[in-house]
Amino acid sequence: MDADQCSDINVITPSSSPDPSVDTGWCFPDTEDGILQAINRGASHLWANTILFASHPIQVSRALDKYQDLIHVVGQGPLVVEKYDDKQYVNDMLRRIGGFTMPGAWSIRADMALAPQLNGVPLPIVAKPVRGRGSQGVKVCYSYSELVTHAQNLLANSSSIILEEFLEGEEITITVMPPTEPGSKYWSLPVVTRFNHQDDIAPYNGVVAVAKNSRVVSESELDEVYIQAMEECERAAQALAVTAPIRVDARRLKRSKASKFVLFDINMKPNMTGPGRPGREDQASLTLLAASSLGWGYQELLKRILNTSHSLNELRRLKPR
C-alpha cells in the first residue's frame, strides 16, 4: 500500500518505490536486522503479520529493548502465540472454562501404537495437525484405512495430531476485534458463511479466492443460532485475552438450520490480504469480506486494525492463560 493511498498515514516500505508487479520490496524481513531497519527508517508502528513464537526477535532481541516503550506493534504477544497456536491446548482450555459448543476430539500421539488409539473412533472423522495454517493437512477420513494412512502421514512430522468429530452442516467464520478503549469489549464483525467445499473441507483462500466460496450473512438471516455463535466467539477471544483480531471457524453439527454451531478452529493470525495492488483485485480475505459489509474498504480495515496496537513492552509481557 503506497503512502498516498492513506493520506493521513505514512507507510514505510524497504524500497522507496516498490514495483506493484513484484512481491518483494513491500515488507521488512521479520528478523532483528529487518525490524531495526524499519525503526531506523522512522517506523512508529510495526505490524507483526507473520508467525510469531517465543524465541522470535520481537520477543527476545536485546537490540530492541531501548525501543520497547516507543514502538507499537499490531499483533499478539509471541509467548501467547507459542501456546495458542496449539489447537489442542486452546480447545482443552475452552472446554475447561465451559459454556462453549465444542466438537468431540481425540489426541493421537506418535510415541504410542496407533491402532489402540483409533479403537472406537467414529467415522467419518476429521484428522488435522495440532499446529497449522488454513486447511493444510486437514482431511475428512471416511474409512479406517484412510484414517490410518492420513494419521501416519501427519505423525511422521509431529509428536501428536487431533481427531475431531465430523461436523456436516453449514460452515461460518467470525472475525473478533479486540477492545481499543478502556471499558470497551470484544466484538464480532458480520458472520461469513462458506460454501463450495472440496472433500468437505473449505479450501485455503490462497488457492481459491474467498469471493468464490464465501458471502456475508445478511441481517434478515441472522437468527439466534448465528447470534449465539458470535457471542461464543467473543467470549473465546476474551478468555484468551487476545490483543489483535482473531478469526474463529465454526460449523453446524447437522445440516439442519436449527443445529448449533460448533467452534472448531481459532486462528490467532487471520489472513488479512486485500486488493492493495494491481493484479490482486480478487484477494479479499474473509475478514475484509466481513468488514466490507460495514462499509469499510481495505484501507479503513487496516486503520481499524492499527488502532488495536500495543507497545512492544506490553506485548512482550503478555503470557498465555
37 and 24 within one domain:
yes
Which uninterrupted H or E stretch holds 214?
strand 214-216
Same domain, 175 and 67: no
Residue 234 to residue 246: CA distance in whole angstroms: 10
The enclosing domain of 176 has a CATH number of 3.30.470.20
Q: Are 164 and 264 in contact (CB under 8 A)?
A: yes
**90 falls within a domain:** no
Task: Return the CATH number at 150.
Answer: 3.30.1490.20
Please, which pLDDT band fits residue 6 given cuts at 50, 70 and 90? low
CA 163 to chain CA centroid, Å, is 20
Structural domain includes residue 239:
yes
Q: Taking the CB of residue 157, how many other CB atoms lie within 10 A of it?
A: 10
Does residue 60 surpass a pLDDT of 90?
yes
Rounded CA separation 209/135 (Å) = 14
Asked if 9 and 303 count as a contact pair (C-beta separation under 8 A), the reply is: yes
Quick check: 207 pLDDT over 70? no
Do 220 and 187 fall within a single domain? yes
Query: 19: which 3 cell numbers?
Result: 514495483
State how far the Cα of 212 lies from the Cα of 198, in Å rounded to an integer.
13
Residue 85 lies in a domain: no
**Distance between CA atoms of 101 and 263, rounded to whole angstroms?**
6
**Radius of gyration (Cα) for the chain, nearest Å?**
20
Number of domains in the chain: 3
Average pLDDT, rounded, for the chain = 93
The confidence score (pLDDT) of residue 1 equals 37
Please report whether residue 94 resides in a domain.
no
Q: Which of 67, 60, 16 is nearest to 40 (CA)?
A: 67
Do residues 265 and 248 make contact, with C-beta atoms less than 8 angstroms apart? yes
Pinpoint the alpha helices (H) of the chain: 32-40, 57-60, 78-84, 87-97, 114-118, 144-155, 224-240, 286-292, 298-306, 312-317
Whether residue 62 is found in the same domain as residue 18:
yes
pLDDT of 279 higher than 80:
no
> What's this model's pTM, rounded to 2 decimal places?
0.93
Q: What is the pLDDT of residues 69-116, one digit of tens each?
A: 999 999 999 999 999 999 999 999 999 999 999 999 999 999 999 999
Claim to verify: residue 117 and residue 150 sit in the same structural domain = yes
* Separation between Cα atoms, residue 148 and residue 176, nearest integer Å: 36
* Residue 299 resides in a domain: yes
216 and 143 in a common domain: no
Residue found by looking up cell 503512502 in the block: 3
Q: Tell me what the mean pLDDT of segment 281-292 comes to.
A: 90
Tell me whether residue 319 is in a domain: no
142, 165, 188 - which closes a domain:
165
CA atoms within a 13 Å half-sphere pointing along the CA-CB vector of 92:
12
149 and 25 together in one domain: no
- Note the pLDDT tens digit of each residue in 134-155: 778 999 999 999 999 999 999 9
Domain containing 68 equals 3-80
Tell me how far apart the 2 most distant CA atoms of the chain are, in Å. 62
Is residue 151 within 8 Å of 199, Cβ to Cβ?
no
Q: Which of 195-204, 235-244, 260-269, 311-320 shows the lowest mean pLDDT across its residues?
A: 195-204
Residue 175 and residue 161 share a domain: no
Q: In which band, very low, low, confident or very high, does the pLDDT at 21 lie, cut at 50, 70 and 90?
A: confident
Percent of the chain with pLDDT over 90: 80
Q: Is 297 left (phi over 0), alpha (psi -120 to 50) or beta?
A: beta
Residue 115 covered by a domain = yes
Residue 86: count of CB within 10 angstroms of its CB: 17
Domain closes at, from 113, 131, 165: 165
**pLDDT at residue 179 is higher than 60:** yes
Residue 92 belongs to a domain? no
User: Of 11-25, 93-107, 211-225, which range is least confident?
Assistant: 11-25
